[in-house]
Amino acid sequence: MRDVAERAGVSVTTVSHVINETRPVSDELRTRVLAAIEELGYQPNALARSLRRKKTHTIGMILPDSANPFFAEVARSIEAVSFEHGYSVILCNTDGDLEKELLYTDLLVEKRVDGILFVAAGMSAEHILALEEQHMPVVVIDRDIPDVAVDSVLTDNAQGGLLATRHLIELNHRRIGCITGPSDVTPSAERVSGYQQALQENGIPLDETLIVRGDFQYESGYRATRHLLALSDPPTAIFACNDLMAIGAVCAARELGLSVPEDLSIVGFDDIRLASFVNPSLTTIAQPKHEMGVLATQMLLERMQDRDRPPRRQMLSTSLVPRQSTATRRTEI
Ligand code: RIB
């Protein structure tokens, strides 16, 4: 920095003000300093600068499964908006392990990120509350954290479960299986409540043997479908609470010699891009993944500018996307 100051004929303090934008500098002096930086190839120390400015222009993003296209698609929108605003993103994958989520939360604080996006956070409030107390800007996406007043971007999961099941009932299905997500995940429970509401409003009795626990992974959809199809009175349709499990369900049906949708209709949830390209293409419930990522990042950037504004809760709608994996129930010939 001293060499730059000498080359530009200014004080080291002026060079610092130009680099850190901590005080207005005349255009003439700024131009001389920037020219000297260019000529000398000076690289200001980003960490030292960030410690002084208390901003690193980085955002932390914590998510439970980076291999799941739903999270990858949300993450891509977060990165795009962050980059547009001059922020880089540190992605932390937790595999749904709360311990790992806590470790990554501490790591991001140590790295002095300017804000943290929790995508589908674990169901613990303590670490989120602790960040709030440290005035670390936080936005929660996809999964509500009970009893924590924090900026949130959620989707109407119950509405999605209702739409999926109504669609199958309109196709004359009455024995409708439901493959749920992990038991401790609010979106899954909300989707199942929508499934139950659709049955109830159509006078279809709830048969608990048709509800099977999954974990949002392909394999659990496969296993749950094999279980359902082995029942003495198997379902003619299945609502899977995410697309990966729905794809696993199609594989299981095929393996048992059943055709989808002729013998078994299947609906998923998320509308990942892959849903259009599997065969048969997947009827599913679309989540506004791009909008979730954009809105959450914008809320975080606004929170960084104004830490005292009241928390906001945005609930986005879901929609049914009919494709090839559902059809009218085949009546006995
Ligand atoms: O596919 C992963 C699921 O976990 C999605 O439905 C998303 O809502 C998250 O909760």
Q: What is the pLDDT of residues 81-120, one digit of tens each?
A: 999 999 999 999 999 999 999 999 999 999 999 999 999 8
Dist. CA 287 → ligand 1 center (Å): 9
The DSSP symbol for 316 reads: E
Q: Supply the pTM of this predicted model.
A: 0.85
pLDDT digits (tens, 9 = 90+) for 244-259: 999 999 999 999 999 9
Residues 324 and 318: their CA atoms lie apart, in Å, by 19
323 part of a folded domain: no
> With pLDDT > 70 as the criterion, what percentage of the chain qualifies?
97
Q: Quick check: CB of 318 below 6 Å from ligand 1?
A: no
What's the chain's Rg over C-alpha atoms? 26
| CATH code of the domain in which 241 resides | 3.40.50.2300
187 with 270, same domain: the answer is yes
- Residue 164 sits in the same domain as residue 268: yes
Q: Are residues 220 and 280 in the same domain?
A: yes
Q: Are residues 75 and 164 in the same domain?
A: no
* Paired residues of 199 in beta bridges: none
Whether 296 is covered by a domain: the verdict is yes
Reply yes or no on whether the pLDDT at 53 is more than 90: no
- Residue to mutate (ligand 1; options 62, 95, 123, 142; most atoms within 8 A of CB): 142
Cα–Cα distance for residue pair 154/157, rounded to 1 Å:
9
pLDDT digits (tens, 9 = 90+) for 135-159: 899 999 998 887 788 999 999 999 9
Cβ–ligand 1 contact at 118 (below 6 Å): no
Answer yes or no: is 112 within a domain. Answer: yes
Q: Is the pLDDT of residue 287 over 80?
A: yes
Domain harbouring 14, CATH code: 1.10.260.40
Quick check: 52 pLDDT over 70?
Answer: no
List C-alpha distances in Å: 98 to 157, 230, 250. Answer: 23, 35, 31
187 alpha carbon – ligand 1 mean position (Å): 7
211 bridge partner residues: 178
**Same-domain status, 163 and 268:** yes
Q: Which pair of tokens denotes residue 102?
A: 């806590």
Is 271 found in the same domain as 217? yes
Average pLDDT score over the chain: 93
Q: Are 114 and 137 in contact (CB under 8 A)?
A: yes
The closest alpha carbon to 94, from 124, 49, 58, belongs to 124
Residues 188 and 134 both lie in one domain: no
CB of 218 shorter than 6 A to ligand 1: no
* Token reading at 278: 């599997």
Which residue type is seen at 37?
A: I
Distance (Å, rounded) from C-alpha 127 to C-alpha 122? 10
Ligand 1 geometric centre to CA of 240 (Å): 11
From 62, 71, 152, give the residue whose CB has the most ligand 1 atoms within 8 Å, as the site to mutate: 71
Domain containing residue 257: 157-287
283 CA distance to ligand 1 centroid (A)?
Answer: 16
